[in-house]
Every structure is written in structure tokens, then in C-alpha cells.
Structure 1
Amino acid sequence: MGPQRIVCLTEEPTEVLYALGAQDRIVGISGFTVRPPRARKEKPKVSAFTSAKIDEILRLQPDFVVGFSDIQAGIASELVRRGVEVWISNHRSVAGILDYVRRLGALVGAAAAADAYADTLQRGLDAIAREAAALPRRPRVYFEEWDEPPITGIRWVAELVRIAGGDDVFPERAAEPLAKRRILEDPDEVVRRAPDIILGSWCGKKFRPERVAARPGWDAIPAVRDGQLHEIKSPIILQPGPAALTEGVAEIARIVRAWAGR
């Protein structure tokens, strides 16, 4: 049967639970939730990412709270002290996202539906990878998730770039789970690595390609020279959930295909 009153502190458990048909059990969501759109209309918003309305959550009488990452450790510990059962996932890879779908499904008593959903997501990734394998060439890709200071892409983003037919120019940084370890101390390193495509997703604010192109010395980068600066909307790439494995990777694949076909 599983828990019947679930609070989701981030978007990805909300999206997964709706996909599994368990949306009626959700009693509270993150204020940053945009997927699925109906969730914003149907569910009370009780958290941001680094903060939450603890008293409001307690009034909802949840029997299970789901969050993500070390950043929500403070929220989780406060809820645990108040007697609430909390699960904080900390996955950072594509395989981790798929495993997350399966584990969340099992925890709420919907293991079979979650397995089927994860299999569908995997088949979608496999189809994109097959199409990418037929491209005549692979672009070097720089993904920027913040601009001041520049922060390079996290692991699942680098993996999705690879699945879509490109190669992340900072693979060693992608392996770092914490954003502070992915800060570029020397932005000229991007110039030296000469990406063919620059993808920007500035974590909740609009990507400004003209500002990127105007950085000192960046006019020497192939991506800047060729006008290959593209925004990937944050909700479809920076959440470690189904959105990244569907719309996010599809958008990257579209950009890579257009570049390869030039």
C-alpha cells in the first residue's frame, strides 16, 4: 500500500509520482515545481530548495517526505526531529536517475509501475543514442549552469550530452557532485578547450548568449565564432528526474544534429 500523504521537497518526485498515477497521495510540493503543469494548480507549495515551511508541512500530516541532495540536509533533519519519515536521495548520474525512479516507486508501493516507467525512459535514451551514433561528427560541448562565477555541468548533464552525440569539454569537473568544485577559476580554460557548442542553463535565470560571447578572448572559441550558443531551460535539464531524460536530452540532441548537419 505504501505512504498515503507524501510531501515532495523538489520537483522530480512530483513528476515521477504523477507518472506512476500516485498523484492523489501528494499533499505538498516545491514552489519550483513546473512539471507536470497541473501540479502547481492542484498542490500546496511548502518548500523552496534550501528552505521549507516546516510548520505547514507538519500541518499536512505527511507520512513520507521526499527530497534531494545534501543541500536539503537541514530541512530533512528538522523534519526527522519532529517525527516525520524522510528520504533524501543524492543521485548525480543518468543511471542514478533511473534507479531513483525504481526506488521511489518501491518505497510508495508502486514498484511494478516504476520499473515499467524506468524501462520506457531507458528506451528513449537508447533511441537518441542510436541516432547520435550515425552523425558524421561529434561536437565538443561546454555546458554552463551558472555565469558568475562560471560553473560547469553536473554529471548527468555531461552524460546526456554524450548520449545526444557530443562530448563535454570538462569531464573531470562533471564528476564533482558539489557545484563549488565545478567553478571555473580561470574562464580562459574554456577558450583553450575550444568547444563547438556552448549550452547555457543558468539555474532559474535567463541565459544571455550575448554576454557569454562578449567575454574577453571568447571570440576565439569556435562556438562563439559560429553563433552556436543555445539555452536549455533549467526545468528540463537541471532537475535529476524524468524531465532531463526526456525533454532535456531531446533538446541537446536537436542542437547537436543541427550542428553536425551544417
Structure 2
Amino acid sequence: MTGFRRLAALLLATLALLAGVTACATRPRSESTAPAEDPASAFPVKVELPGQPPVTLAQQPKRIVSLSPTATETLYAIGAGDQVVAVDEFSNFPPQAPRTDLSGLTADAATVGARTPDLVIAPDNAAQLADGLKTVNVPTLLTPSAATLDDAYRQIEVLGQATGHTKQAAQLVDRMRSDVDEIVRSTPKPPQPLSYYHEVSPDYYSATSQSFVGNVYGLFGLANIADPAGGKFPQLSGEHIVQANPNLIFVADAKCCQVNAAAVAARPGWDTLDAVRRGHIIELDDDVAGRWGPRVVDLVRAIGAGVAKAQQG
């Protein structure tokens, strides 16, 4: 009898074990036992940016190649830096990003594929690269230039979803929104709109209110002297700038072309400009002014400081 009881107990234990295994094998995916904070549990995921084809990621990418300086900054800001194995030659921030000689403008599928990526992030004009990588099953997320701050926020959120850092991306966007709102709210409002000239290059290429950076200036109610020229990045004439006599001059070509306040003041005829006479020339970081990533808050802060300075005399 004792032997029978032992045999029965062993049989029941075996059946219980098999039932458990069967239950685990047939459990619906929605009842996954993966921890809620496990980034990999969010995959597979489908992400999409406006005007671009959707991208499906079967699992969390571990080898990301970024060919967009803005995307590179964002990846590190949301905690995905450890997943980045290569970035393009212009991705100079943060300093620890693994820069290469890759280019978002000219890179081909074979060269990028040699880095064995499981996700490539590139500008939206790299459709040919995306098609080439598709043939070797490498998903490519194309990122269009942001036109507004909301576009920039959306792009950060999508990069968070694509990399398994949805929560971190949402927190970053919340901080950015809060910081931008606070800077704009605390900046003194002039009785009349101040006019400004934003310089992209020394040959007087500028940015209108239709551009992303122009949209940021618009938060402060500034009047852009480049708007009559139309488009996003028109080339102005020196005569037009002098005639417009802007209250503020923002130069975003200090790194590329060594343009600073002294260089602007030394231009023929510019000594008559209100912005020059009053010292209202603000030197911007070229990279910050030309990207729509997390450091856009620094751009807003610099513009706010310029607006406040112009009202002090």
C-alpha cells in the first residue's frame, strides 16, 4: 500500500507539472509574465512618423545606426545610447557618440549594412537607402525635419517607442514642454513686436517663420525681416537687412564660419543698425539652432535672453 501511495503521488505530481507546462505554452501573449518595466516586453511594435512609411520592429533593437544628428541627440537623451553602435559624421553631440565617416546624404545600403544594425535611423531624403536595407531585412526609420515644436516632440516619442524607451521619451517631452513654457512666460513682453534677423550663413541666408527655427522665434511674438522673401531659407541682400534695421540679430554661423558680434558690427554699413549700435547681437550655437532635438530648450533660452536684453536698452 505504501508503494502504491508513493506511485500515485508521483503520478499526480507529474500530471501537475505537465498541466503547468501546457498552461504556459497556451497562455495568450497578452498575459506575458515579462516584467512591466522590461523594455523588450513592448515588442513587436509598429512606429510611424508623418509622411513616412510605417516601420515594424519585431524586437527591441540592440545595434542602432543613426545618420541624423538630431536623432543621435535624442537617442542619448532618452537612455538609448547604449544601443547605438555608429552615428554619422555630423553627430557631434553628445561627445561619446560613436562617430564614423557615414553620411545621411550619401551612405549606401552595403556600407551601412556592414555595421550589422537591427535599426537604422536616417533623414527622410534617404528613401533609397531604406529600400536597399529593406532587401536585407534591416528596418529603417526615416525622420523628416520638424516644422513645429509639436513635430519635434512627436519625433522624440516615436524614437522612444522604436527603442523601448517610451516612458523616458514621454518624460523628456514633458520636461521640454514645461521648460519652454516657463521661459516664454517669464520673458518680458515688449509693447511693440521686436524685429529680428536670423543668419544661417555669412552670405545672408536666413530662416523665415515657415522654418522650424522661425517657429521657435514666433513663441516670443517677434517679427522676422526675412518673411517677405518667402520660402524657408531665403538668401537676403545686405541692402534689405540694412533697410529693415532689425532690433535683434541672431547669428547661427559662429562655429562654421567664425561669425561673431564683432564681425557683424564690422560689416560695411551695419554700424547704423539698431541691433549693432545697442549691442543686441546674439551668438547662437550653430548645432542647437539647426536641430530640433532635446537642446531646443537651449535655443529658446537664448532667444528669450536676447528679447529681454533688447528691452533693457
Whether the TM-score (by the shorter chain) exceeds 0.5 is yes
Partner of 2:197: 142
Partner of 2:54: none
How many residue pairs are counted as aligned between the two chains?
251
Partner of 2:62: 4
Distance 1:8 1:199, change over 3 A: same
Question: Structure 1: how far apart are the matches of 2:294 and 2:235?
Answer: 26
Distance 1:212 1:69, change over 3 A: farther
SS at match of 1:147: coil
Partner of 1:22: 80
Distance 1:171 1:76, change over 3 A: farther
Question: Shift of the alpha carbon at 1:170?
Answer: 2.5
Question: Structure 2: how far apart are the matches of 1:116 and 1:171?
Answer: 35
Question: Shift of the alpha carbon at 1:199?
Answer: 0.8
Distance 1:214 1:80, change over 3 A: farther
Residue of 44, 49, 64 corresponding to 2:119: 64
Tell me if 1:88 matches 2:139: no
Return the letter of the residue paired with 2:206. Answer: T
SS at match of 1:195: coil
Question: Structure 2: how far apart are the matches of 1:98 and 1:61?
Answer: 29
Question: Structure 2: how far apart are the matches of 1:48 and 1:219?
Answer: 40
Distance 1:125 1:50, change over 3 A: same
Q: Is the 8 A contact 1:102 1:111 kept in 2?
A: yes
Tell me if 1:227 matches 2:279: yes
Return the letter of the residue paired with 1:119. Answer: D
Gaps of 5+ in 1: none
Question: Structure 1: how far apart are the matches of 2:228 and 2:170?
Answer: 31
Question: Shift of the alpha carbon at 1:87?
Answer: 1.7
Distance 1:65 1:44, change over 3 A: same
Higher relative CO (Cα under 8 Å, sequence separation at least 6) belongs to 1
Q: Is the 8 A contact 2:104 2:122 kept in 1?
A: no
Backbone CA RMSD of aligned residues: 2.7
Q: Is the 8 A contact 1:141 1:198 kept in 2?
A: yes
SS at match of 2:217: helix
Gaps of 5+ in 2: 1-39, 41-59
Question: Structure 1: how far apart are the matches of 2:258 and 2:123?
Answer: 24
Question: Shift of the alpha carbon at 1:222?
Answer: 1.3
**CA deviation profile, 1:138-175 (whole Å, cap 9, x unmatched):** 53111011122x211262212222335643323466x7
Once the two structures are aligned, what percentage of the paired residues are identical?
24
Tell me if 1:151 matches 2:205: yes
**CA deviation profile, 1:191-224 (whole Å, cap 9, x unmatched):** 2322111111127332244443344443332112
Tell me if 1:36 matches 2:94: yes
Q: Is the 8 A contact 1:165 1:253 kept in 2?
A: no
Distance 1:215 1:77, change over 3 A: farther
SS at match of 2:62: coil
SS at match of 2:106: coil
Question: Structure 2: how far apart are the matches of 1:163 and 1:255?
Answer: 13
Question: Structure 2: how far apart are the matches of 1:187 and 1:121?
Answer: 36
Larger radius of gyration: 2
Following TM superposition, the consecutive aligned residue runs of length 4 or more in structure 1 with deviations greater than 6 angstroms are none
Please identify, of 83-92 and 8-17, the stretch whose mean Cα deviation from structure 2 is larger.
83-92
Q: Is the 8 A contact 1:27 1:44 kept in 2?
A: no
Question: Structure 1: how far apart are the matches of 2:188 and 2:153?
Answer: 22
